[in-house]
Chains A and B, each alone.
Chain A
Amino acid sequence: GENVEQHPSTLSVQEGDSAVIKCTYSDSASNYFPWYKQELGKRPQLIIDIRSNVGEKKDQRIAVTLNKTAKHFSLHITETQPEDSAVYFCAASGWGGKLVFGAGTILRVKS
């Protein structure tokens, strides 16, 4: 089955700096890669996703890149703000919609 590894487990950045979180997956059949943000005590919420036929996707300060050959994808947050502090999860999915999640990255943005 699919296995998703996520690094780093914790990340501290200064406000205004960029943050990068990386994930690798094992199943070459996976074709959908969402990223979820979870604030303390809240539910995970989708912030961006990418499909296997696309190499990069941007949404304001957030971008995701996908390298299908190497089976890895990354989340990039530019100009970080204190409200970006949260836990971020990557996930991978093949046909049928089942998601396999990474273990999460705690992002702390210091002001």
Chain B
Amino acid sequence: NAGVTQTPKFRVLKTGQSMTLLCAQDMNHEYMYWYRQDPGMGLRLIHYSVGEGTTAKGEVPDGYNVSRLKKQNFLLGLESAAPSQTSVYFCASSPGTGVYNEQFFGPGTRLTVL
């Protein structure tokens, strides 16, 4: 099992450009999440999904959109990138059954917006 994978690993964008980050998991997990990690601020939830076809806003959703068309994939889109979106982005997934849900993280995508 590959677990949680993310593409790309690195990306440099110019202000105003758009891009999509792809997260894939092969553990048949129901829940998937997108976080951003900035120095001194921990991991902040951008959007999440509790099942195929569902999405919901997290703590810092502005400037991002997501889609979960297939259970195994969760896409994060930036329509018009801004320097404030320079960050490391982590995807995670969890089983979604029961109360206690360990989250499994992908390797991260380092995004720089110039």
Contact = CB atoms under 8 A, between A and B. Distances in A.
Interface of A: 1, 6, 9, 31-32, 34, 42-46, 49, 51, 89, 93, 95-104
Given A9-B40, A98-B45, A44 B90 contact: yes
Given A44-B43, A44-B90, A103-B41, A96 B50 contact: yes
B91 to A, nearest CB: 10
Interface residues of B, number: 24
A89 B105 CA distance: 13
Interface in B1-53: 31, 33, 40-45, 48, 50
Interface stretch (B63-71, B78-86, B95-103): B95-103
B107 A43 contact: yes
Nearest to B39: A104
B77 interface: no
Nearest to B38: A103
A49 B42 contact: no
A36 B94 CA distance: 15
A51 B101 CA distance: 11
B43 A89 contact: yes
Contacts of B42: 6, 89, 101-104
A99 B45 contact: yes
Contacts of B50: 96-97
